[in-house]
Amino acid sequence: MATDVFKQALDPDNDLKHTKLNGGEDIDCTYKDKKISYDDYLDIHEERGERITKGKKPGSVGVFSGFGPGTMKKSYDK
C-alpha cells in the first residue's frame, strides 16, 4: 500500500514506469515511454520528492520570465 501512496504523490501523471526483468534481477525503466537508466529514474523521483517538500507540484517546472526593466545593472551605469 505504501508504494501506491508514493506513486500517487511522485508520479500522478503515470509517466514513470518500471518493469522487473529476469525474475527481478534487472529493471527496465521508462519516462514518457522513452527508455532511461535506473539512475535517471531515481533522480527524477528524488527531484519530485524535493519539489513536494517545498510545497510545489511534482511535475511542474519553473519558467524563466526574463529580465525586466531595472533588473540588470548595465556596465555604463554607476
**75 pLDDT band (50/70/90 cuts)?**
low
HEC readout, the chain: CHHHHHHHHHCCCCCEEEEEEHHHCEEEEEECCEEECHHHHHHHHHHHHHHHHCCCCCCCCCCCCCCCCCCCCCCCCC
The structure's pTM equals 0.65
How does pLDDT run across 37-72, given as a tens digit for each residue? 999 999 988 888 888 888 888 776 666 656 666 555
Q: Residue 34: its pLDDT value, please?
A: 93
Nearest C-alpha neighbor of 41 from the set 56, 26, 55: 26
